[in-house]
Amino acid sequence: MSDTTLTAGAASAGATSPAASGSAADAPGAAATPILDVRELSVIYESAGQTPVQAVDHVSFQLKRGEFVGLVGESGSGKSTLGFALTRLQKPPARTNSGQILFDGHDIRELDDEELRRQRQGGFAMVLQSGMNALNPVRRIRDHFIDIYKAHGHVPRDRWQARSEELIGKVELPVAMLDRYPGELSGGMRQRVSIALALSLEPQLMVFDEPTTALDVLVQHAVMDTIRSLQQSEGFTAILISHDLGIVLESTERVLVMHEGRIVEDGTSRQILDDPQDEYTRMLLSHYADPRAEVVSLPGFEDRSVRRADGRSRADSATSAPSVATRGKRSAQAAIVVDGVSKTYAPPRRGEDPVRAVRDVSFTLEPGQSLALVGQSGSGKSTLAKMITGVEAPSEGRITFGDLDVAKLRGKRVRELHRDVQMVFQDPYAALNPLHTVEYILTRPIVNFTGATKQQARMRVRELLETVGLTPVEQFAQKLPHQLSGGQRQRVVIARALASDPQVIIADEPVSMLDVSLRAGVLALLEDLREQWGVSLLYITHDLLSARLITDDILVLHDGQVVERGDTAQVLQHPQDDYTVALLDAVPDPRRARVSA
């Protein structure tokens, strides 16, 4: 993927786009006019029967040729809306209601449909967030390339094969992938294919909308590396839209921070890192820390070892009050003992090997302990959670909770287990029935597990809402899930888990779908529940920073096996296994990247 191959490819393709070669960015004439000049751009959402929402509010900025700029903001900040507006892909109810988008000096809002379509070759391209779904499931990868060549005629027919092979090579995939259907590729591979497709347009500007968000941690890291090296070798101007300030600071030279439809900060990555001007930027930054550091603290979380040494709880050290109501700790509690557990699934296709999801895992979760189970997807961590809750039975080994053998429970005894061991799920958007009010959602488990009367249940619902910090409770009790934010929904999910007054909470990636500013609150809630109520916590995650914050011990799982275990702070500071190191390296850390650069 050297510059020579690109020039050869572009030249034979008859492309004349200036930005296709890296040198154009340095040309004196080209540098003078910005490639993109956005002036007072506003985008509004107008849904029938609802108050219009100004998603992008008078935004202005310029991009120089060859720049790699990050656009950061939390969900609802308008960053994706802006990205879609820049490439004129926004659809009703979104509408650009004022301002100009000058691409290479011409306002793209003025283009008619056919001009716009032609502009997409050699102009601006977009890589979507869910790149894995960006490919037509019934067409081969090759046909996707050919569709683009046919639409624009920028690659002569006799070069189709060679050009496709070249592009697929640029994103580090084997040529054989061209004959596959999208369904036969992994998520990371599909995202690479969609990057290659966008590249085939020889764009001057590429907009990457959360290109790695839906991917697994380690894959995320590799795809970002590819994007970075492509940007350098191909010399296109790029906008990287992301909710993750870490990723953005690590990759780009300049960062735009977006909040409530406005750009609140625009500066070089170093400026933003060292001297953030805006309150919101400072808040975002404060939620980043290196999980390997000696002392790790976030807003509301003093470092664990420091706290432990002083014998203080999270709430003592934080300025905020404990998020849970004080209550006596449980007296008699049981430990969960996982003893030599394996889980083997039947082969997905005949003739293949059986899938060994979990292999000979043993650990004990003591009452009041918090244990992290980390690993990438497919490492077996969720399968373990399913076995502990009795949803799946182990193929070998035994899981006991007190005197209950989890796999052998039937009928009433299963209820006992479920009363004491509760799950908090990853996706708060999917874990709540959209048709029921919060009150109803919480009443069900209360009545089912404790047999409370209507009046008692009503009281308990209010208590629970108070516990998880959803006040005023009367208001929240009547709400439907869609009226709540992601963080509030996850609190409802936790409240539901608490309804049966459990001894153990198994939290499966409880904050991975939440914005950073909301994560700390949910993590604090879990920590306080453990400290104040003595609930033990099995925290399943791929996010090592949060594991460092709220767990005492850690278990690193890889391919179903425990590759490393020990005290969380110890393991993360002095990892022994290569896999743990790889996981740690995948954590985006703006400071580390800047230091090495």
CA dihedral 486, 487, 492, 493 (to 10 degrees): 80
DSSP character string of 44-57: EE--TTS--EEEEE
- Considering the complex, state which of residue 183 and residue 451 has its C-beta at the smaller distance from another protein: 183
Does residue 444 touch another protein according to CB under 8 A?
Answer: no
Does residue 253 touch another protein according to CB under 8 A?
Answer: no
Q: Report, in Å, the least distance between residue 118 CB and another protein.
A: 7
- Considering the complex, state which of residue 135 and residue 516 has its C-beta at the smaller distance from another protein: 135
Does residue 14 touch another protein according to CB under 8 A?
Answer: no
Does residue 56 touch another protein according to CB under 8 A?
Answer: no
Q: Report, in Å, the least distance between residue 72 CB and another protein.
A: 22
Binding-site member from 6, 82, 86, 197 for another protein (CB under 8 A): 197
Which pair of tokens denotes residue 578?
Answer: 């290569």
Residue entry with tokens 């203080």? 312
Q: Report, in Å, the least distance between residue 97 CB and another protein.
A: 19
- Considering the complex, state which of residue 166 and residue 209 has its C-beta at the smaller distance from another protein: 209
How far apart, in whole angstroms, are the C-alpha atoms of residue 488 and residue 399? 33
Does residue 49 touch another protein according to CB under 8 A?
Answer: no
Site for another protein in 15-34 (CB under 8 A): none
By the 8 A CB rule, do 421 and 503 touch? yes
- Considering the complex, state which of residue 93 and residue 174 has its C-beta at the smaller distance from another protein: 93
Q: Report, in Å, the least distance between residue 403 CB and another protein.
A: 40
- Considering the complex, state which of residue 92 and residue 328 has its C-beta at the smaller distance from another protein: 92
Q: Report, in Å, the least distance between residue 125 CB and another protein.
A: 7
Site for another protein in 57-96 (CB under 8 A): 87, 89, 92
* Nearest alpha-carbon partner for 216 in 520, 567, 479, 509: 509
Binding-site member from 150, 308, 408, 574 for another protein (CB under 8 A): 150
How many residues at the interface with another protein, by CB under 8 A? 37
Phi, psi torsion values for 429, nearest 5 degrees: -80, -30
Does residue 8 touch another protein according to CB under 8 A?
Answer: no
For residue 30, what are the contacts with CB-CB under 8 A and spacing of at least 6? 18, 24, 65
Q: What is the DSSP letter of 321?
A: P
Which pair of tokens denotes residue 181?
Answer: 């259907």
- Considering the complex, state which of residue 125 and residue 284 has its C-beta at the smaller distance from another protein: 125
Does residue 136 touch another protein according to CB under 8 A?
Answer: yes
Task: Please confirm whether the linkage preceding 211 is cis (ω < 30° from 0).
Answer: no
Does residue 237 touch another protein according to CB under 8 A?
Answer: no
Does residue 198 touch another protein according to CB under 8 A?
Answer: yes
Q: SS3 string of 133-155?
A: HCCCCCCCHHHHHHHHHHHHCCC
- Considering the complex, state which of residue 113 and residue 353 has its C-beta at the smaller distance from another protein: 113
For residue 159, what are the contacts with CB-CB under 8 A and spacing of at least 6? 12, 13
Measured between alpha carbons, how far is residue 260 from residues 6, 80, 323, 364 in Å? 40, 12, 27, 45
By the 8 A CB rule, do 130 and 214 touch? yes
The amino acid sitting at 323 is: S
Using CB under 8 A as the criterion, what x/- string covers residues 106-125 for binding another protein? -------x--xxxxxx---x
- Considering the complex, state which of residue 86 and residue 224 has its C-beta at the smaller distance from another protein: 86
Which pair of tokens denotes residue 434?
Answer: 């959209």
Binding-site member from 28, 49, 137, 328 for another protein (CB under 8 A): 137
Phi, psi torsion values for 348, nearest 5 degrees: -65, -30
Does residue 151 touch another protein according to CB under 8 A?
Answer: yes
How far apart, in whole angstroms, are the C-alpha atoms of residue 562 and residue 362? 8
Q: Report, in Å, the least distance between residue 93 CB and another protein.
A: 11
Q: Report, in Å, the least distance between residue 130 CB and another protein.
A: 5
Does residue 152 touch another protein according to CB under 8 A?
Answer: yes
- Considering the complex, state which of residue 113 and residue 403 has its C-beta at the smaller distance from another protein: 113
Does residue 138 touch another protein according to CB under 8 A?
Answer: yes
Binding-site member from 24, 108, 135, 494 for another protein (CB under 8 A): 135
Q: Report, in Å, the least distance between residue 148 CB and another protein.
A: 5
DSSP lists the bridge partners of residue 356 as 344
Q: Report, in Å, the least distance between residue 432 CB and another protein.
A: 23
Q: What is the DSSP letter of 110?
A: S
- Considering the complex, state which of residue 111 and residue 335 has its C-beta at the smaller distance from another protein: 111
Binding-site member from 201, 296, 529, 562 for another protein (CB under 8 A): 201
Q: Report, in Å, the least distance between residue 139 CB and another protein.
A: 7
**For residues 471-482, b (16+ Cβ closer than 10 Å) or e, as one string?**
eebeebbebebe
Does residue 351 touch another protein according to CB under 8 A?
Answer: yes
For residue 150, what are the contacts with CB-CB under 8 A and spacing of at least 6? none
Task: Please confirm whether the linkage preceding 472 is cis (ω < 30° from 0).
Answer: yes
* Nearest alpha-carbon partner for 562 in 425, 384, 422: 384
Q: SS3 string of 177-236?
A: HHHCCHHHCCHHHHHHHHHHHHHCCCCCEEEEECCCCCCCHHHHHHHHHHHHHHHHHHCC
Does residue 130 touch another protein according to CB under 8 A?
Answer: yes
Using CB under 8 A as the criterion, what x/- string covers residues 422-441 for binding another protein? --------------------
Site for another protein in 164-193 (CB under 8 A): 181, 183-184
Site for another protein in 367-396 (CB under 8 A): none
* Nearest alpha-carbon partner for 180 in 150, 131, 139: 139
Does residue 421 touch another protein according to CB under 8 A?
Answer: no
- Considering the complex, state which of residue 89 and residue 563 has its C-beta at the smaller distance from another protein: 89
How far apart, in whole angstroms, are the C-alpha atoms of residue 302 and residue 304? 6
Does residue 134 touch another protein according to CB under 8 A?
Answer: yes
Binding region for another protein (CB under 8 A)? 87, 89, 92, 113, 116-121, 125-126, 128, 130-131, 133-139, 147-148, 150-152, 181, 183-184, 194, 197-198, 201, 349-351
